[in-house]
């Protein structure tokens, strides 16, 4: 990593994160996924390896996840199994990340609904039953739909999502707000844009192309893109997503005015622009366009997001733009390829 970029990465940790409360015991469900694998490692570096339990339905392939702290097999559709594990550890916080994403959800809508909704209820009820004070649950820009204003989409606006994933996320947001109002459960949420990282692969999202494209570029292969060249979508680089998540969870409760889910913005770009960003560093890189069913999903989502409320309430601001992200990812993938 270059000197400039290592400074940028360090700045991605806010001052609040340095003062992590070491008495927390944290469960991360979905810890082997794209976000979970990086978030778990960051939480362990803040709170201590033994205090952050990684959990997923499958054992991790990532050796650093297994080596840096405990792992438990958890199925969010098995509330009794979850309760047994939770009563052993006496968790104070849960990050519940397990979900079926937008493109995969359209292939099996009833399973997506069951996993996304029942999984959330099981976690919320577990938190109430075992007095687990704080829960993080991710929402998504998929809560917005074709009737939503697509530019600078405000925090509060017309929603009407058109995918089963978006419907489950919007319903989930309403349930989170309900559990807060009715039971005082301190549950917090972000509407993530497409998340881009180089360490783990996403699965089943509409924005996944922006992860896959970098791997093809480093392999020296052309990339076949399933979206049109001018499809703008909101995106965020993983260090920013992790910073947003932990900053939100560490913010004083009195600062949290949104109890459904906060809009957060990183950057917006089209396939043509990410390809051009890669070509600045790998001029021979080629992209071809073959739009499929995911085009319709992308066309129903906002192009840019207004995150004014998150900025005001808990000081959110992103660090990475497209070119800084491209440079960091390509450098890291190229180093990995040499190992
Ligand atoms: C997806 O594409 O489904 C996700 C999302 C935007 O929530 N990355």
Task: Give the tens place of pLDDT for each residue, 249-259.
Answer: 999 999 999 99
What CATH number did the domain enclosing 303 receive?
Answer: 3.40.50.720
Partner residues linked to 53 by β-bridges:
27
Domain that residue 73 falls in? 3-338
Quote the ligand 1 centre to 101 CA distance (angstroms): 6
CB under 8 Å to 177, separation ≥6 — which residues? 259, 260
Question: What distance in angstroms lies between residue 74's CA and the mean position of ligand 1's atoms?
Answer: 23
Q: What is the CA radius of gyration of the chain?
A: 19
Q: Which pLDDT score is estimated for 199?
A: 93
- Show the DSSP H helices in the chain as ranges: 3-11, 15-18, 34-47, 63-67, 79-89, 102-107, 109-113, 119-129, 164-183, 209-219, 238-250, 271-279, 294-299, 308-314, 322-338
**pTM of this structure:** 0.94
Question: Is the pLDDT reported for residue 338 higher than 60?
Answer: yes
Of residues 33 and 7, which shows the higher confidence score?
33
53-71 pLDDT per residue, tens: 999 999 888 889 999 999 9
d(CA 259, CA 287) in angstroms, rounded, equals 41
Q: What mean pLDDT is predicted for residues 242-265?
A: 98
The model's confidence at residue 10, banded by pLDDT at 50, 70 and 90, is very low
pLDDT at 104: 98
Backbone angles phi, psi at 162, to 5 degrees: -110, 0
Find the catalytic residue in 47, 95, 165, 192.
165
Buried b / exposed e along 286-298 (16+ C-beta atoms within 10 A) = ebebebeebbebb
Number of domains forming the structure of the chain:
1
| Ligand 1 proximity of 205 Cβ (cutoff 6 Å) | yes
């Amino acid at each position: 990593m270059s000197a400039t970029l290592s400074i940028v990465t360090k700045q991605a940790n806010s001052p609040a994160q340095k003062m992590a409360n070491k008495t927390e015991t944290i469960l991360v469900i979905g810890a082997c996924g794209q976000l979970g694998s990086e978030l778990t490692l960051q939480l362990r570096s803040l709170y201590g390896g033994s205090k952050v339990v990684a959990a997923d339905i499958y054992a991790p392939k990532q050796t650093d996840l297994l080596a840096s702290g405990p792992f438990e097999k958890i199925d969010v559709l098995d509330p009794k199994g979850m309760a047994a594990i939770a009563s052993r550890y006496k968790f104070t916080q849960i990050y519940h990340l397990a979900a079926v994403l937008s493109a995969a959800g359209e292939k099996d809508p009833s399973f997506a609904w069951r996993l996304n909704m029942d999984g959330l209820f099981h976690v919320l009820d577990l938190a109430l039953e075992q007095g687990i004070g704080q829960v993080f649950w991710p929402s998504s820009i998929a809560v917005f739909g074709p009737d939503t204003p697509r530019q600078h989409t405000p925090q509060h606006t017309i929603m009407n999502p058109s995918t089963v994933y978006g419907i489950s996320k919007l319903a989930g947001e309403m349930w989170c707000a309900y559990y807060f109002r009715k039971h005082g459960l301190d549950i917090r949420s972000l509407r993530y844009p497409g998340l881009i990282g180089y360490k783990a692969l996403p699965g089943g999202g509409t924005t996944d192309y922006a992860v896959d494209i970098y791997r093809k570029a480093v392999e020296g292969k052309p990339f076949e893109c399933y979206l049109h060249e001018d499809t703008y979508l909101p995106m965020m680089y993983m260090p920013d997503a992790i910073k947003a998540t932990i900053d939100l969870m560490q913010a004083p409760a009195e600062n949290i005015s949104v109890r459904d889910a906060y809009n957060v913005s990183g950057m917006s770009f089209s396939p043509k622009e990410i390809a051009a960003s890669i070509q600045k560093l790998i001029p021979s890189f080629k992209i071809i366009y073959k739009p499929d069913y995911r085009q319709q999903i992308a066309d129903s989502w906002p192009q840019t997001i207004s995150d004014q409320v998150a900025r005001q309430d808990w000081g959110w601001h992103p660090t990475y733009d497209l070119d800084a992200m491209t440079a960091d990812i390509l450098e890291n993938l190229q180093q990995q390829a040499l190992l």
